[in-house]
Amino acid sequence: MPIGDLAPELTVLLTAVAVLLLAMVLPQRRHGWCAGLAVLGLGLSMALALGQAGAERLTFSGTYALDPGTTWARLAIPGLAILCAGLAPRWLATDRRHGEFYAMLLFSTLGALAMAGAADLMQLVMGVLLSSVTGYVLAAYHRDWEISLEAGMKYFLVGALANAFLVIGVVFVMGIAGSTDYATLSGQIFEDPLALIGLTLVLTGLFFKLGAVPVHTWVPDVAEGAPVPAAAFLTVVPKLAGAVALFRLVHLAPGLAALPLLIALVAAATMTVGNLTAIWQDDLRRLIGWSSVSQTGYALMAVAVVGVAPMALPALLGFMTVYGLANVVAFAVVAELRGRTRIADYRGLLRARPGAVVALTLAFLSLVGIPPLAGFLGKFALFSATLGTGFGWLAVVAVANTVVSLFYYLRVIAPAVFAAPEGPVETLGGLARAVLWISVAILVGATVLWAPFWASLGQGLLP
Burial class (CB in 10 A: 0-12, 13-18, 19+), 256: middle
Tell me what pLDDT residue 180 has.
86
Three-state DSSP state, 320 = helix
CA pair distance 323, 368, nearest whole angstrom: 10
Tell me what pLDDT residue 187 has.
65
Give residues with Cβ within 8 angstroms of 249, minimum separation 6. 124, 199, 202, 203, 206
Tell me what pLDDT residue 195 has.
81
Q: What are phi and psi of 190, to 5 degrees?
A: -85, 10
Phi-psi region of 226 (alpha: psi -120 to 50; beta: other; left: phi over 0): beta
3-class SS shares of the chain: helix, strand, coil, % to 5: 75, 0, 25
Candidates 463, 228, 451; CA nearest to 332 is: 228
Residues of the chain whose pLDDT is less than 50? none
CA pair distance 229, 227, nearest whole angstrom: 6
Burial class (CB in 10 A: 0-12, 13-18, 19+), 1: exposed
DSSP secondary-structure letter at 119?
A: -
Candidates 292, 307, 305; CA nearest to 263 is: 305
DSSP secondary-structure letter at 31?
A: T
Give residues with Cβ within 8 angstroms of 388, minimum separation 6. 309
CA pair distance 22, 125, nearest whole angstrom: 30
Q: What pTM did the predictor assign?
A: 0.94
Opening angle at CA 46, ends 40 and 49, nearest 5: 145
Per-residue pLDDT reduced to its tens digit, 167-224: 999 999 888 888 888 888 876 666 677 888 888 899 999 999 999 999 999 999 999 9
CA pair distance 380, 55, nearest whole angstrom: 28
Query: Which stretch of DSSP H or E encloses residue 370?
Result: none
CA pair distance 331, 284, nearest whole angstrom: 10
Are 255 and 308 spatial neighbours (Cβ–Cβ below 8 Å)?
no
CA pair distance 238, 245, nearest whole angstrom: 10
Which residues on adjacent β-strands are paired with residue 54?
none
Tell me what pLDDT residue 105 has.
96
Give residues with Cβ within 8 angstroms of 284, minimum separation 6. 334, 340, 341, 342, 343, 346, 412
Per-residue pLDDT reduced to its tens digit, 132-176: 999 999 999 988 888 999 999 999 999 999 999 999 999 998 888
The rounded radius of gyration (Å) of the Cα atoms in the chain is 21
Tell me what pLDDT residue 117 has.
93
Which residues on adjacent β-strands are paired with residue 57?
66
Q: What angle do the packed helices 98-116 and 237-251 form, to 10 degrees?
A: 20
DSSP labels for 76-94? Answer: HHHHHHHHHHHTHHHHTTT
Tell me what pLDDT residue 188 has.
65
**Omega before 463 cis (within 30°)?**
yes
Are 374 and 366 spatial neighbours (Cβ–Cβ below 8 Å)?
yes
Strand bridging mode 64-66 / 57-59? antiparallel
CA pair distance 305, 12, nearest whole angstrom: 33
DSSP secondary-structure letter at 421?
A: P
**Omega before 254 cis (within 30°)?**
no
